[in-house]
A and B are shown apart, each in its own frame.
Chain A
Amino acid sequence: MITVKELTKKYARTVAVDHISFEVQKGQIVGFLGPNGAGKTTTMRMLTCFLPPTAGGATVAGFDVLEQPLEVKKRIGYLPETPPLYPEMETGEYLEFVGRLKGLSGADLVKRVDYVCERCAINDVKTKLLGKLSKGYRQRVGLAQAIIHNPDVLILDEPTAGLDPKQINETRELIKGLAGDHTIILSTHILPEVEQTCEQVIIINKGKLVATDSVHNLQNRARGGESVLIEIAGRNGALDKSEVENRLQQIAGVGRAEFKTSHGNRNIFFIESQKGFVRGDLARAIVESGWDLNELRPAAMSLEEIFLQLTGAEAVEATKEAQ
C-alpha cells in the first residue's frame, strides 16, 4: 500500500529524514515510533504531499507523491498533530466542507457525514462550534475529517497527544476499529501505545530508520534467546538459592540464571537462554532435584526495553520526560 524508498528531507542545516525505506501492507496498523524531533512528522508530511522530499521517493496506493500528488491526496486521510479545525464552523458543516474538498457531493456527502459522526461518536456536538469543543472532541472531529472520504490510507500524527487517559483509550479503540477498512500509519512517542494498537513498528531516531518489524518479532529479535521467570519452592520450606542457580546454570543453552526475589517459600529466578527453547530442560532439572516448580513463564521484553537497546538510553529518557 505504501512504499518508501530512500526518502530524505534536508533543511538548511539539518537532515530531518535520512534515507528511510520501508513498506506497509494493505490493512495493517503501523506504529511510527521515535522520540520527539526524530523526523516522524516530516516523514508523514512527505507521504501526504505537504512537503516535497529532497531525495528519494514514496508511493501511496501505487501513485508517486511527487508525480501524481492529486491521486495520492485522494487516497489519504490525514490528521496532523493539531486537528485542522476552523473555530468559527459548526462540526457538521465543517465535515461537509472537508467532504466537498475531498470530492464528495450530494447524497454521498450526507451519508458519509452521518457515518463518520456515528463512527467517531460526535453526533452530540454536530451543531456546536468547533472552537468550543473539548480537546477529546476536537481530536475525534479530526479523525472524522480524516476518514470522511473513506481513504485507503490513514496517516495520524500523534493522535492521542494531550488527551486524558480515558480519552486516550477511546481514541485507541476507535483507531483499532478503523483498521479493517484502512491502512493506518500512526506516529507516537509513547511506547505502550504501539504495543497496544499496532501490528507493525517502524522505529526512527534522529532521522534514521532504526528498526522495522512486527511487534512480536521485534520482541524476539532484541531478546536473542528466550527469557523465563521460574517460581520454585523448596520441599521443607527452605531452599538454597545458590544451589539452584548453580544447578540451572549447568543446563546446556542457559546463559544466565539469577535469583530475583522471594516471598516466603516462593522464590523467583530469572533465566536467560543463549538460543532456543530451554523450558523443558529447566522443568526437568528442577523436578529431578526435588524442588517444586510452581510457575514457569516467558518474560516478554517490553517494547520500552527494546527501544532502549535500539536507540540508546538518551532517547528513552526523552520519551519518559515527554510522557
Chain B
Amino acid sequence: MRNVWIIWRKELRSYFVSPIAYLLVTMFAVVFGFFFWNALGYFVLMGMEQQMRGRSFPMNLNEQVIRPLLSNVAVIGLFVIPMITMRLFAEEKRSGTIELLTTSPIRDIEIILGKWFAAVTLYACMLLFTGLNFLFLFKYGNPDWKPLAIAYLGLLLQASGMLAIGTFISTLTKNQIIAGATTFGVLLMLWVLEWVSGYESATWAQVLGYMSVTTHFDSFAKGVLDTKDAIYYLTLIFAGLFFTARSMESLRWRS
C-alpha cells in the first residue's frame, strides 16, 4: 500500500509540474462551462415561454439541466482520457526509467495501481472544477443534491474504467502518440457500440449494446444507483487493470 502511494505521488507530481494537468483541467472546465451555459440557456428560454403563454409545465432543474448536461460529460472525457493515460507507461518505456521501477522491491500491481490512481485523481480534479458551475444552480434554484452526487459518482466510475483501458494500452508501446490514438479509437468504439441497439434487437446486438460505456450511465444520470451498471464499470476497471498487469509481465518475457 505504501508503494502505491509512492508511485501515486510521483505520477501526480509529474502531471502537475508539467503543463499537462493545467492544460487538461482548463480545457475541461472551459468546455464544460460552455455545455452548462447552453443547458441553462435552454432551460431559461423554456421558462420564459411558459410565462408568456400562461401555461405551466412542471420545471425541474435536475431533469432538464443536470441530467442531459452530465450525460454529455463523457464526450469531453473521450478526448481528455487518452491524453491523461498515454504517457503513463509509454514514457517510462522510452526513457528506460521502467527499469528502475521493475528492479525496485515493489510489485507490478503496486506500480499499476499507483499510476492508475494518479490518473483517476487528475480526472477527479477536473470534475471538481465542473462542480463550481452547480454552485450557481444551488444559489439561484433548488435542485436536489442527492441525484447530483450519484451522477458524479457515475462519472467517476465511468472515467475510471476508461482510464484503466488507457493505462493498459499505454503498456503496449513506447510511443505516446500511438498509445493516445489507440486509446481514443478504442474508447470511441466503446462509446458508439450502443448504436446497434437502435435498429437491431438480436442477442448479439444486445450484448454489444450492453458493452457500451454510455448506456450504463443513464441510470446514474437519473440519480439512480443501479448495481448492474455499477458492476459494469467495476468490471471495466478490473479488466483494464488485469490486462495491464498481464502486459507488464509479458513485457519482461519479450523484451
Contacts and interface: CB of A to CB of B under 8 A. Distances in A.
B97 A51 contact: no
B96 A101 contact: no
Nearest to B14: A88
Give the size category of B's interface with A. 20 to 34
A52 B252 contact: yes
Of the four ranges (under 10, 10 to 19, 20 to 34, 35 or more), the interface on chain A belongs to 20 to 34
Contacts of A101: 3, 6, 100-101, 104-106
A179 to B, nearest CB: 21
Interface string A99-123: 0111100000000000000000000
B107 A70 contact: yes
B255 A51 contact: yes
Nearest to A102: B104
Contacts of A98: 100, 104
B96 A84 contact: yes
Interface in B65-100: 95-100
Contacts of B17: 88
B99 A86 contact: no
Contacts, number: 65
Interface in B211-255: 252-253, 255
A85 B100 CA distance: 9
Interface string B1-18: 001001000100110011
Contacts of A103: 105
A45 B105 CA distance: 15
| Main SS class of interface, A | loop
A73 interface: yes
Contact of B99 (A70, A84, A100): A84
B97 A85 contact: yes
Nearest to B3: A101
Contacts of B106: 70, 73, 101
Contact of A74 (B6, B100, B105): B105
Given A52-B252, A88-B14, A101-B106, A78 B3 contact: no
B99 A50 contact: yes
Interface of A: 45, 48-52, 70-71, 73-74, 76, 78, 80-82, 84-89, 97-98, 100-103, 145
10 contacts: A49-B103, A50-B103, A70-B105, A76-B103, A78-B100, A78-B103, A84-B98, A86-B14, A88-B14, A101-B3
The 5 closest A-B pairs by CB, nearest first: A84-B100, A73-B105, A84-B97, A101-B104, A74-B105
